[in-house]
């Protein structure tokens, strides 16, 4: 036994943890001191060790009152730990007690003296027939007989305290002791936290009183506990006793359930295409419909009776002899029973209401499809109830809370599925809107129920511990302020929905009246009549209704954002006020992180932060230095701030998705009349959406869009759980919402794309679930805090194959969903089938959510233990996806595929940043990159959503159509160039920051240059798109300037369509001018955005001003965003990036990670510290100057747009203001009268040289 080795090991492993987990170091040092005393000649004195260790030893010596230590100490000194085989042989003859031998074995195990350990084990087996199985690596305690457990329980637990937590956690004895052993009732209720509390009570807080109390209560329990029956079986039978008890009589009913399940499977699988169409026909004929419903419910009743019979049979075969009507014994069973009855009644109510609606509306309902998940939920509830039916007291105490939680959660998810179902239904007929409202109100009701349930449970601490133990911290981000806000949200949304319901009825009545007036004999649900009365639906289709929707949706959405912004800050501001009364897991993981603040940016946080520091720790456990060095434990103000920015990015992108949908639907309504001119549109024109039969579909339905985004975001923001499985369920919310968004268009292709996305997401979620199952297999829990705890404590050891493969499965599914390199194929196909707003939804919003999830999943909860594996895979994958994406951008011709490739490339860079996240400025760079990407895409997609309604937008050459409104060319020019990363624009800065981040790490300068060079091919693609902004390109590759057309060129335009577009102020004004123009110039095909013939009879002036206001707002926003992009680029990115880095460098500690070279980190930190003062002044100067500039431009633009608006209205009112009369002689196909087009002309002048050269070359050929 080398004593120096032991000392080194202790110091290496636990020197840093002395404050974090003192009991570990305490126990080890106890061993250490024991051995020291017995072998003084071998040892080196502990005085050689660092000061803290000696101080700690002194601390140990002072606290003599700790019984746990000194009992063992005295006992071991009395026995005398033997060191040779001869001594053991001598001891074998003596009478060693069981406890002493146990202690001996453990001591050998700690000293890694394997020979002696095996010898002691053999002695133990010979002498006492110990039921312990010792491995050299870890200890597995299997089937500890209850006699020993009752007798030696405290001593065993003290012995267990000397082992690692990871070893302990892997052992079944741990769970055995918690589940089966007789203990005080409150300890049982606390469940898994019991052991931790036990350790803390005994070893950390040095509380002998608690120890005594435990022992006394333990003795009481021993007296009261019934003696266990003697088992005749061998002790070496390793099957757990609880397992036997539970599954003794269960075999046939289990088999029955499995058979039923397979019958269900077979019935589904036999329905191939023809069979399904047969059933489909039956399903839609009147009588068979009812028969099928009855059939389904008969099956349910049969099954229900079967389960009851099974239960009765089980009760008969119960070993305890109690009867099934014994209510007191099996009260939880009857809870389940009542719950089951409730579900059944709910089903029937659904059927009744659906049939009622069916008779009311003459429409068919999907009750059968709807009832399938219902049936299966009941099935598995009953499986669970049977499995839970056990005389074990611990499980019985759990059953109440489990069942009540089940009831809530199942209903919650059940109605969430309803929600999506009604989305789909609502796309067919607007009468399903009623169903949608119904489902929404139910959903909100259930949400309120969940919240009230939680409020109720806060008061009962024990119950809550049980629930959180099983589910993870499901409702973690809840404090009184949140509850108030959520209730406010609940009531306001219910009110809003009621209002929308009434307004819907009002509009419906209006339509009915119109219909009766003009066409009294039509059936309402006939789509052709809808198209017939479509002109009259203009009343509610125009902007006034949109404003109504906006009015009632926007407050809800604002509250929604407030809630989640508050959740981010809640623990900073309010947590310290209410924190004492709300349970947080931070109480379990105490820390004392002292954070210092030097930056004035967070000055107002100074006072609160010291008190709320424990509250912040809830984001992740601070267990040891590993966590503190990562961003997990760090959680200084900068990290919280960056996390807040990440969250707010998602909120903004969700909000912008809604805005883009609004723009899209608004313009599609404006141009809806043009649908009748189908000859001019191409085959894949987006205007074909507005077919006569389907014209109702694309009525703006802001509720649907809102709830779409809401559910997706809610799914991911409710990731405050620490349970992996709840995380996966939240992810499913996102995928289902995305699936609905893809199937938004009423075409076959969009449905195909939705099916494909469904299958892809199913594959990914299967992989996720299987990975979770792997982790559960090896670790035994899915609570992320515990998982990370276990993995960190066993950091020195090699992980098992199962854990690694589980985490790799997680990575794989995330790569599939983010469409990284090998899995990007689906994204190209699906993107190319979407409309523009959906494209934004998929490519930006849902990817941001996924990044957020990735962030929390792999980084916050200490999964960074696997960084060496994750880095190796994800560096390769990210680089390959960058290469792939850049070449794809260079190659591609279609616009949607262009977006797909560019998002692959950009998210490749983001994944690269994830691999470097433990270096100093990577998190800041990541957030900066995401913010920049979001801004650029917001502008680009807002422009395209407006244009894709009017024109086809399939190819990159379609960018030339933007020239018809030259102001948009400027915006698109800025957006595309900043997407490419050309120096003065925004994307350039994110690339610079990435370069800086890589340069700082050990990867070095050459690697940074390499990664930057990877994106060079993409520049070709981006410039190709930019070139199309300034030239008209014909299909044969020739390009033309848009400005000056010679006569020879104009003859070539004969066969082309020349587009003509104005602001949709009042189209009837241009009517005569158009006709004159057409009469004069027969070669020119003018393609107006309004159907002139229909507009001639319509009174359209009523909504003219609104349209113009909307247009002005849009213009204003585009200008605002583009100014942000250009002038705000330097300031915003510098603020986000440098200020945070500076504050972090001043406040936080030095970061040391094994996998990275620490030298670079040190040098960078020193550099930053030297330059911090100067840089801070510089950054503040830049900020002030650019803010002034930005504000001036903002004000200027505000004044200009207001002036333009006033002048136009003035002219419109007092003169017959005709733009076209001014342009009668003009040969250019667009109108360029405004001063705002001067910038575009300037750009054209610069680019005209290129056009001349190209045409000259073409002519030469």
Partner 1 sequence: MTAYSLVLIAYLSVLFFTSGFTSLVLQTCNFIQNLVNLEICMLGIMLVFILFSVYLNEPTGQMHALYTIILAAAESCFGLALLSILLRRRGGIVFEDNYTFYAGQLA
Task: Tell which positions 223-242 bind partner 1, by CB under 8 A.
Answer: 238-240, 242
- One of 68, 537, 670, 753 touching partner 1 (CB under 8 A): 753
Question: How many whole angstroms separate alpha carbon 701 and alpha carbon 947?
Answer: 20
445 binds partner 1 (CB under 8 A): no
Residue 535 near residue 461, CB atoms below 8 Å: no
Give me the residue label for tokens 């052993």.
181
Measured from the CB atom, the residue of 56 and 841 that comes closer to partner 1 is 841
130 binds partner 1 (CB under 8 A): no
Nearer to partner 1, 380 or 1007 (CB): 380
CB 285 → partner 1: shortest distance, Å?
15
Q: Which of 151, 756, 1038, 1149 touches partner 1 (CB under 8 A)?
A: 756
853 binding partner 1? (CB under 8 A): no
Nearest distance from C-beta of residue 871 to partner 1, angstroms: 27
Min separation Cβ 130 and partner 1, Å: 20
Among the listed residues 276, 460, 604, 891, the single contact to partner 1 using CB under 8 A: 276
Residues 509-548 that bind partner 1 (CB under 8 A): none
The answer to whether 138 contacts partner 1 (rule: CB under 8 A) is: no
- Quote the least distance from Cβ 379 to partner 1, whole Å: 8
Would you give the binding string for partner 1 spanning residues 26-65, x where CB under 8 A is met?
----------------------------------------
| 139 binding partner 1? (CB under 8 A) | no
Give, as ranges, the residues between 675 and 694 that touch partner 1 (CB under 8 A). Answer: 683-684
To the nearest 10 degrees (0 to 180), the angle between helices 172-179 and 393-426 is: 100
Establish if 781 lies at the interface with partner 1 (CB under 8 A).
Answer: yes
Q: Is residue 421 at the binding interface for partner 1, with CB under 8 A as the rule?
A: yes
Residue from 762, 795, 1188, 1198 in contact with partner 1 (CB under 8 A)? 762
Per-residue binding letters, 1071-1100, with partner 1 (x by CB under 8 A): ------------------------------
How far CA 949 is from CA of 669, 695, 698, 899, in Å, comes to: 9, 14, 12, 18
Residue at token pair 């968004």: 741
Q: Is the CB of 376 or the CB of 509 nearer to partner 1? A: 376
Per-residue 3-state assignment (H helix, E strand, C coil) for 592-648: CCCCCCCCHHHHHHHHHHHHHHHHHHHHCCCCCHHHHHCHHHHCCHHHHHHHHHHHH
Please state the closest distance from residue 148 (CB atom) to partner 1, in A.
Answer: 18
Of 585, 546, 923, which is closest to residue 721 (Cα–Cα)? 585
Q: Among 754, 860, 917, 1119, which residue sits at the site for partner 1 (rule: CB under 8 A)?
A: 754
Residue 972: which of 1122, 774, 870, 823 has the closest Cα? 1122
Which of 236, 360, 372, 1242 forms a contact with partner 1 (CB under 8 A)?
372
Judged by CB under 8 A, the residue of 271, 313, 533, 577 near partner 1 is 271
| Angstrom distance (rounded) from CA 734 to CA 713 | 7
Nearer Cβ to partner 1 (427/1172): 427
Which of 157, 729, 842, 1139 forms a contact with partner 1 (CB under 8 A)? 729
Name the maximum alpha-carbon separation found in the chain.
123
CB atoms < 10 A from the CB of 1225, how many? 5
Q: Whole-number minimum distance, CB 408 to partner 1, in Å?
A: 12
Contact 543, 1106 (CB under 8 A): yes
Of 258 and 558, which has the nearer Cβ to partner 1?
258
Write the DSSP symbol of residue 201. Answer: I
The one segment of 226-234, 467-475, 546-554, 1135-1143 that binds partner 1 by CB under 8 A: 467-475
Six token digits for residue 150: 């009752």
Size, binding site for partner 1 by CB under 8 A: 96
Task: Using the rule CB under 8 A, give the single segment among 617-625, 706-714, 727-735, 1134-1142 that binds partner 1.
Answer: 727-735
Rg of the chain over CA atoms, in angstroms?
A: 36
Residues 589-628 that bind partner 1 (CB under 8 A): none
- Report in angstroms how near the CB of residue 632 gets to partner 1 at its nearest: 24
Is residue 1003 within 8 Å of residue 1151, measured between CB atoms? no
Q: Which of 292, 490, 522, 769 binds partner 1 (CB under 8 A)?
A: 769
Beta-carbon contacts of residue 218 (< 8 Å; ≥ 6 apart): 153, 154, 182, 183, 184
Can you read off the two tokens belonging to residue 25? 């170091």
Structure token pair of residue 462: 């024990």
Dihedral (Cα; 892, 895, 900, 903), 10-degree rounding: 100
* List 639, 657, 954, 1062, residue binding partner 1 (CB under 8 A): 954
User: How near is the Cβ of 439 to partner 1 at its closest, in Å?
Assistant: 12
- C-beta closer to partner 1: residue 27 or 721: 721
Phi/psi-derived region of residue 1037, left when phi > 0, alpha when psi is between -120 and 50, beta in every other case: left
376 binds partner 1 (CB under 8 A): yes
Nearer to partner 1, 225 or 776 (CB): 776
64 Cβ contact list (under 8 Å, min separation 6):
70
Binding residue (CB under 8 A) for partner 1 from 58, 78, 594, 748: 748
| Binding status of residue 830 toward partner 1 by CB under 8 A | yes
Instruction: Report the residue from 225, 261, 569, 999 that binds partner 1 according to the rule CB under 8 A.
Output: 261
Q: At what angle do helices 3-14 and 22-38 cross, to 10 degrees?
A: 170
Q: Give the orientation angle of helix 1104-1134 with respect to helix 637-670, to 10 degrees.
A: 150
> Residues 896-935 vs partner 1: string with x where CB under 8 A?
x---------------------------------------
SS3 of 478, please? coil
CB neighbour list of residue 604: distance below 8 Å, 6 or more residues apart:
none
Q: Which is nearer to partner 1, 573 or 776 (CB)?
A: 776
For partner 1, give the closer residue by CB, 642 or 768. Answer: 768
Residues composing the chain: 1261
Contact residues for 222 (Cβ-Cβ < 8 A; gap 6+): 150, 182
Q: How many CA atoms lie within 13 A of 956 on its CB side?
A: 20
DSSP string, 719-768: TT--BHHHHHHHHHHHHHHHHHHHTTSSSHHHHHHHHHHHHHHHHHHHHH
DSSP letters for 16-73:
TTTTT-HHHHHHHHHHHHHHHHH-TTTPPPGGGS-HHHHHHHHHHHH-TT-HHHHHHH
Closest CA relative to residue 715, chosen from 726, 697, 729, 730? 730
CA 954 to chain centre: 31
Q: Interface with partner 1 includes 335 (CB under 8 A)? A: no
* 141 three-state secondary structure: strand
Contact 1045, 1053 (CB under 8 A): yes
CB of 828 to partner 1, least distance (A): 8
Cβ 1007 to partner 1 shortest distance, Å: 35
Q: Should residue 714 be labelled a site residue for partner 1 when binding is judged by CB under 8 A? A: no
Residue 178 · residue 806 · CB < 8 Å? no
Residue closer to partner 1 by CB (options 375, 1239) is: 375
Q: Which is nearer to partner 1, 657 or 765 (CB)?
A: 765
Choose one: 215-223, 769-777, 1099-1107, 1239-1247; the region binding partner 1 (CB under 8 A).
769-777
| Residues in 338-367 at the binding interface with partner 1, rule: CB under 8 A | 366
Shortest Cβ distance from residue 839 to partner 1 (Å)?
Answer: 13
Residue 688 CB, shortest distance to partner 1, in Å, is 13
Q: Measured between alpha carbons, how far is 960 from 962 in angstroms, rounded to an integer? A: 5
Q: What SS3 class is residue 1085?
A: coil
Segment 384 to 413, residues that bind partner 1, using CB under 8 A: 384, 387-388, 395, 398, 402, 406, 409-410, 413
- Window 174 to 193, contacts with partner 1 (CB under 8 A): 175-176, 179
């Amino acid at each position: 036994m080398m004593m120096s080795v032991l000392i080194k090991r202790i110091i290496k492993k636990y020197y840093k943890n002395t404050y974090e987990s003192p009991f570990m170091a305490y126990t080890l040092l106890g061993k250490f001191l024991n051995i020291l005393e017995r072998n003084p000649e071998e040892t080196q004195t502990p005085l050689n060790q660092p000061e803290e260790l000696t101080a700690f030893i002194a601390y140990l010596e002072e606290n003599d009152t700790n019984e746990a230590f000194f009992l063992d100490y005295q006992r071991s000194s009395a026995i005398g730990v033997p060191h040779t085989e001869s001594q053991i042989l001598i001891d074998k003859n003596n009478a060693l007690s069981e406890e002493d031998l146990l202690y001996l074995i453990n001591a050998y195990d700690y000293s890694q003296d394997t020979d002696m350990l095996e010898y002691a084990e053999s002695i133990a087996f010979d002498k006492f027939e110990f039921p312990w199985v010792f491995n050299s690596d870890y200890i597995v305690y299997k089937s500890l007989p209850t006699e020993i457990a009752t007798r030696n329980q405290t001593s065993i637990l003290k012995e267990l305290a000397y082992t690692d937590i990871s070893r302990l956690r892997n052992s079944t004895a741990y769970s055995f002791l918690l589940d089966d052993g007789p203990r005080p009732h409150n300890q049982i209720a606390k469940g898994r936290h019991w052991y931790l509390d036990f350790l803390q009570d005994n070893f950390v807080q040095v509380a002998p009183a608690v120890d005594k109390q435990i022992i006394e209560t333990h003795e009481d329990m021993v007296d009261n506990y019934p003696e266990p029956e003697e088992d005749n079986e061998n002790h070496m039978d390793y099957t757990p006793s609880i397992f036997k008890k539970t599954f003794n009589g269960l075999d046939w009913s289990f088999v029955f359930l499995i058979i039923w399940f397979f019958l269900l499977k077979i019935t589904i699988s036999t329905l191939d295409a023809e069979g399904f169409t047969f059933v489909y026909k039956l399903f839609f004929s009147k009588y068979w419909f009812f028969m099928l419903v009855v059939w389904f419910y008969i099956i349910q009743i049969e099954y229900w009776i079967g389960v009851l019979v099974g239960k009765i049979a089980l009760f008969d075969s119960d070993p305890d002899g109690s009867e099934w009507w014994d209510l007191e014994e099996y009260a939880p069973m009857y809870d389940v029973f009542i719950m089951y009855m409730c579900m059944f009644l709910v089903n029937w109510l659904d059927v009744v209401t659906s049939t009622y609606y069916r008779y009311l509306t003459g429409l068919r309902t999907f009750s059968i499809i709807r009832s399938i998940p219902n049936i299966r939920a009941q099935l598995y509830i009953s499986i669970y109830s049977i499995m839970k039916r056990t005389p074990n007291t611990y499980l019985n105490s759990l059953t109440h809370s489990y069942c009540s939680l089940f009831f809530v959660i199942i209903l919650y998810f059940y109605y969430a599925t309803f929600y999506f179902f009604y989305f789909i239904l609502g796309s067919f007929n607007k009468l399903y809107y009623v169903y949608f409202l119904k489902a929404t109100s139910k959903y909100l009701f259930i949400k309120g129920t969940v919240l009230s349930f939680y409020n109720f449970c806060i008061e009962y601490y024990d119950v809550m511990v049980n629930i959180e133990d099983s589910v993870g911290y499901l409702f973690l981000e809840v404090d009184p302020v949140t509850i108030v806000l959520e209730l406010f949200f609940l009531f306001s949304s219910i009110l809003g929905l009621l209002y929308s319901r009434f307004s819907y009825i009002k509009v419906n009545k209006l339509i009915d009246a119109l219909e009766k007036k003009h066409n009294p004999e039509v059936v309402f649900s006939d789509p052709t009549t809808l198209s017939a009365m479509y002109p009259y639906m203009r009343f509610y289709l125009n902007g006034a209704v949109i404003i109504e929707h906006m009015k009632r949706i926007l407050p809800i959405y604002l509250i929604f954002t407030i809630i989640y912004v508050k959740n981010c800050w809640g623990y900073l501001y309010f947590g310290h006020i209410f924190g004492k009364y709300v349970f947080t897991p931070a109480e379990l993981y105490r820390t004392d992180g002292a954070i210092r603040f030097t930056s004035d940016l967070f000055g107002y946080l100074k006072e609160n932060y010291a008190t709320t520091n424990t509250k912040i720790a809830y984001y992740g456990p601070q267990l040891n230095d590993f966590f503190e060095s990562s961003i997990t434990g760090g959680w200084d103000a900068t990290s919280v701030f960056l996390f807040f920015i990440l969250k707010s990015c998602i909120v903004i992108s969700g909000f912008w998705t809604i805005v883009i949908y609004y723009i899209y639907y608004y313009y599609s309504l404006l141009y809806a009349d043009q649908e009748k001119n189908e000859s001019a549109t191409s085959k894949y024109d987006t205007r074909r959406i507005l077919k006569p039969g389907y014209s109702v579909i694309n009525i703006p339905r802001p509720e649907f869009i809102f709830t779409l985004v809401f559910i997706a975001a809610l799914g991911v923001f409710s990731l405050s759980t620490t349970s992996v499985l709840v995380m996966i369920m939240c992810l499913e919310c996102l995928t289902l919402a995305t699936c609905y968004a893809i199937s938004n268009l009423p075409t076959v292709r969009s449905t195909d794309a939705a099916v494909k996305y469904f299958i892809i997401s199913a594959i990914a979620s299967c992989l996720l679930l299987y990975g979770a199952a792997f982790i559960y297999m090896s670790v035994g829990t899915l609570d992320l805090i515990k998982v990370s705890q276990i993995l960190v404590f066993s950091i020195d050891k090699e992980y098992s194959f199962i854990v690694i493969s589980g985490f790799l499965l997680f990575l794989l599914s995330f790569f599939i969903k983010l469409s990284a390199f090998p899995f990007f194929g689906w994204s190209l196909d699906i993107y190319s089938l979407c409309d523009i707003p959906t494209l934004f939804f998929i490519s930006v919003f849902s990817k941001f959510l996924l990044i957020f999830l990735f962030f929390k999943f792999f980084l916050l909860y200490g999964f960074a233990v696997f960084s060496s594996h994750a880095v190796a895979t994800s560096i390769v994958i990210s680089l390959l996806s960058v290469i792939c994406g850049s070449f794809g951008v260079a190659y591609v011709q279609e616009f949607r595929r262009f977006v797909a490739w560019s998002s692959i490339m950009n998210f490749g860079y983001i994944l690269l940043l994830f691999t470097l996240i433990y270096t100093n400025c990577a998190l800041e760079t990541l957030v900066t990159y995401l913010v920049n990407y979001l801004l650029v895409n917001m502008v680009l997609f807002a422009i395209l959503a407006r244009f894709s309604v009017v024109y086809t937008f399939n190819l990159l050459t379609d960018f030339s159509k933007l020239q018809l409104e030259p102001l948009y060319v400027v915006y698109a020019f800025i957006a595309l160039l900043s997407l490419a990363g050309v120096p003065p624009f925004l994307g350039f800065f994110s690339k610079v920051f990435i370069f800086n981040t890589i340069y700082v790490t050990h990867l070095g300068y050459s690697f940074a240059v390499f990664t930057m060079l990877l994106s060079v091919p993409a520049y070709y693609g981006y410039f190709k798109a930019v070139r199309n902004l300034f030239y008209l390109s014909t299909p044969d590759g020739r390009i033309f300037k848009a400005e000056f057309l010679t006569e020879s060129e104009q003859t070539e335009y004969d066969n082309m369509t020349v587009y003509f577009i104005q602001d949709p102020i009042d189209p009837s004004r241009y009517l005569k001018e158009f006709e004159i123009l057409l009469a004069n110039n027969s070669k020119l095909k003018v393609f107006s955005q309004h159907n002139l013939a229909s507009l001639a009879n319509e009174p359209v002036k009523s909504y003219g001003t609104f349209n113009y206001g909307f247009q002005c707002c849009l213009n204003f926003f585009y200008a605002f965003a583009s100014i942000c992009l250009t002038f705000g680029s330097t300031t915003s990115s510098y603020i986000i990036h440098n200020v945070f880095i500076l504050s972090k460098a001043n406040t936080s500690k030095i970061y040391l990670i094994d996998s990275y070279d620490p030298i670079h980190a040190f040098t960078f930190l020193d550099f930053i510290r030297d330059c911090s003062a100067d840089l801070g002044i510089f950054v503040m100067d830049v900020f002030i100057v650019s803010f002034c500039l930005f504000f001036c431009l903002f004000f200027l633009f505000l004044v200009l747009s207001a002036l333009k608006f006033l002048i136009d209205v003035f002219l419109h009112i007092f003169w017959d203001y005709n733009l076209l009369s001014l342009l009668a002689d003009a040969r250019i196909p667009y109108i360029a009268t405004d001063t705002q087009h001067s910038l575009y002309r300037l750009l054209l002048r610069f680019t005209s040289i290129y056009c001349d050269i190209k045409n000259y070359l073409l002519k030469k050929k």
